[in-house]
Amino acid sequence: MKCIIDRRAQFSASHRYWLPELSEAENSDRFGLCARAPGHGHNYVIYVSMIGELDQYGMVLNLSDVKHVIKREVTSQLDFSYLNEAWPEFQQTLPTTENIARIIWQRLQPHLPLHSIRLVEHPELWADYQGNSMEAYLTISTHFSAAHRLAHPALSFEENCEIYGKCARPNGHGHNYHMEVTIKGDIDPRTGMIADLVAFQKAVDDYVVEPFDHTFLNKDIAYFEQVVPTAENIAIHIRDLLQAPIRSIGAQLHKVKLIESPNNSCEVYCTDLALGAIDSLERELVSQG
């Protein structure tokens, strides 16, 4: 029986986004504040996922052994370091979040049966790498506050209450929505980036956060005049809004996760299969009206 196990580790380090072949003005224009000398730092967290068969002792691996491998190969070398100079790989390709995850995979892969590496740079930015050449995933987390009412426009108040319960009350209710947007793409062999992080954040802010924040979704967002703003439908609409802007910055939208409350969340993927299934579900929901 195969199982996936995870081991968490951490290190603190600094880095700078700076290409010596570019001028100071060009570096500043491309990398913004991240180009400032002498650099800036983060408390990085690594999640190492490993896959394997259970042994006779009920373990995939002895986690004490895993801990020592991660410390020997990664954290002891990177902790309190200047990443640009810590490993030779970062002199060729900048130590961005996604590229650090890729290089950590390469360092650990000879020693552990890896499934994936997640590197969290801070609570609102992390990268995932799964061993697929230069392909990686980058996620930003953000939030907006909005109110909504769950009520299908073709149904009576009593019918909506039967379906949606308290959420159908006439004046609606609010949430502090948390949203995770994940893009996928190839790491640039020089900059270390899937896409420009500032442009990625701006696309999410311009197309979702600013239009949605402090609104009553049913009234202020035209899409929800006829579509019930459940968490699922909100996530679908966000996916549709972001796909073209994300393509324009050279990446592919992979996933949108919407966290409505600590108890409720949903996620939609942007693979062809997932898109077809979700679109069919959306059409079915609309047709029921």
* Domain ranges (residues) in the chain: 1-131, 149-289
For residue 71 the two structure tokens come to 């410390």
Mark whether 214 is an active-site residue. Answer: yes
Q: pLDDT tens across 261-273, in order?
A: 999 999 999 964 4
- Does residue 71 surpass a pLDDT of 60? yes
pLDDT value for 152: 94
Active-site pick, 89, 115, 167, 267: 167
Mark whether 40 is an active-site residue. Answer: no
* Total-model pTM: 0.90
Mark whether 167 is an active-site residue. Answer: yes
pLDDT value for 1: 81
CATH fold, domain 149-289, is Tetrahydropterin Synthase; Chain A (3.30.479)
Mean pLDDT computed over 16-29: 95
Quick check: do 1-131 and 149-289 share a fold? yes
**The CATH number of the domain covering residues in 1-131:** 3.30.479.10
For residue 156 the two structure tokens come to 């009576």
Q: pLDDT tens across 221-269, in order?
A: 999 999 999 999 999 999 999 999 999 999 999 999 999 999 999 999 9
Active-site pick, 232, 254, 260, 270: 260
